[in-house]
Structure 1
Amino acid sequence: MLVEQIWTANAYRNFNYLIACPETGEALAIDPLDHRQCLATAKRNGWQITQILNTHEHGDHTGGNRAMVAQTGAKLLAHKNAKDKIRGLDQGLGAGDVVKVGKTVELEVLDTPGHTLSHVCLFAHTDLPALFCGDTLFNAGAGNCYHGGDPIALYHTFIQQLTKLPDTTRIYPGHEYIINNLRFTLDREPDNAQAIALLSKVKLQDPNQAFVSTLALEKEINTFFRLDSPTLIRKLREAFPDLPKDLDPQKVFLKLRELRNKW
């Protein structure tokens, strides 16, 4: 499996992706908002884009569909419940479906509601597994739930699906928000040594060669995985003095999401 992470350098800080089969050169474009960069990258690598996948229906992920289809004839895939939200959908996807690219690439579809209720992630069961996670999971953060989402659904996606993936899973998010997300981590958990060290490192990074996290690292630096951190819970009680004595993980997650919305 060949992966190109494409930095759009736009105001939304989007990443687009191409996943290609090394044998056939067939490629899948994920959320190709910047269709020109995606097409140029495919041409440079000698790849043919035959499929497009939208992780969800928001315009900063679907905005390149029409131009991409017009220039490649690629088939458009997305969550099966997004058929009325994404024009020209050729194939609706559900949990457990497999997206095949060429002869060698197979990507499992995960139904991951939260950011929206019709959101999918793609998981690659390779030697170094990979998760193409759209706006469900960011480096050191989680998707918001402003536009058609549900924070309780997002919590269940994290706990029931994401935490159970292999720790070696590489994380490929839909946006580059790592610096601000790490600052939120340290606002909530000032003694998080991993987050302190990583923030110093990524401040110097070029988004064209972005840092690629792993699930193991996310569990160390991402507040939305660290729901039992004593420091985090103590700071949460300072922000919300009326929290019950017995604080369950879902409540911690929801209060973190509430704080991040305003942070």
Structure 2
Amino acid sequence: MLVERIWTGNALRNYNYLVACPKTGEALAIDPLDAAQCLHRAKVRGWHITQLLNTHEHADHTGGNAAVVAATGAKVIAHHKSGGRIAHVDRGVQAGDTIKVGKTVELECLDTPGHTLCHICLLAHTDEPALFSGDTLFNAGAGNTHNGGDTALLFKTFDEQLSRLPGNTRLFAGHDYLVNNLKFTLSREPDNAHAQALLQAVAGQDGDAAPVTTLQQEKEHNTFFRLDQPRLIAKLRESVPDLAEDPSAQDVFVALRTLRNRW
């Protein structure tokens, strides 16, 4: 499996992706907002885009669909309940469905509600597994839920799906918010040495140079995976004094996401 991460450099700090079969050169475009860059990169690589997947319906993920389809004839894939929120969907997918790219690439669809109610992540079961997480999971952070989402469902997605994936799974997120997310982690866990070291390493870099982390690394520096840490909970209670005496993991997750909304 060949992966091309495309840094758009726009105000929303989007990443777009091409996933290609090394044998056939067929490629899947994931959230190709910057259609021009995606088409150019595919041409340089000698790939032909035959499919396009939108992880969810927000315009900063679907805005390049029309141009990519016009240039390539790619089939549009999206959540089976996305309905009219994404135009001209050719294939609706749900949990457990497989997207095949060429002869060698198979991506499993995960139904991952939270950021929106109809959100798909893609999981590649390769020697080095990979997760294309859209706006569900970010490097050192979690998606927001204030544009058609649900924080309790996002917690459930983290708890029942993402946290159980292999630690060596590489994370390919929909945006580069790494620096701000690490700063938020450190506002909650000032003594998190992993977050401190990574923040120092990426200071001054733009999204094009940001590292690709693994889920094991995320569990070390992403506060949304560290809900049982006593120091995190004690610090959280300073900002959320009505937090339960013995809060559940969901209580902690929701409180953190609420703080991140206004941080």
Pick the TM interval, shorter chain. Answer: over 0.9
Task: Give the corresponding residue for 1:110.
Answer: 110
Structure 2: any 5+ residue segments left out of the alignment?
A: none
- The whole-number CA distance in structure 2 between the counterparts of 1:160 and 1:178 is 24
Task: Give the corresponding residue for 2:34.
Answer: 34
Task: Give the corresponding residue for 2:229.
Answer: 229
Contact 2:13/2:207 (<8 A) preserved: no
User: What percentage of aligned pairs have identical amino acids?
Assistant: 65
Contact 1:83/1:92 (<8 A) preserved: no
Task: Give the corresponding residue for 1:17.
Answer: 17
- The whole-number CA distance in structure 1 between the counterparts of 2:13 and 2:206 is 13
**CA apart distance, 1:243:** 1.7
TM-score when normalising by structure 2: 0.99
Contact 1:140/1:185 (<8 A) preserved: yes
- The whole-number CA distance in structure 2 between the counterparts of 1:240 and 1:58 is 31
Task: Give the corresponding residue for 1:240.
Answer: 240
- The whole-number CA distance in structure 2 between the counterparts of 1:255 and 1:78 is 31
Q: Which runs of 4+ in 1 moved over 4 A?
A: none
Q: Aligned with 1:205: secondary structure?
A: coil
**CA apart distance, 1:230:** 1.2
Task: Give the corresponding residue for 2:135.
Answer: 135
Across the two proteins, how many residue pairs are aligned to each other?
A: 263
Task: Give the corresponding residue for 1:172.
Answer: 172
RMSD over equivalenced CA pairs, Å: 0.7
Task: Give the corresponding residue for 2:162.
Answer: 162
- The whole-number CA distance in structure 1 between the counterparts of 2:125 and 2:9 is 30
**CA apart distance, 1:242:** 1.8
1:83 aligned partner, one-letter code: G
Contact 1:20/1:26 (<8 A) preserved: yes
**CA apart distance, 1:207:** 2.3
**CA apart distance, 1:206:** 4.2
Question: Which runs of structure 2 are paired with 1:69-88 in the superposition (5 Å)?
Answer: 69-88=69-88
Structure 1: any 5+ residue segments left out of the alignment?
A: none
- The whole-number CA distance in structure 1 between the counterparts of 2:52 and 2:251 is 37
1:16-43 Cα shifts (integer Å, max 9, x gaps): 0000000000000000000000000000
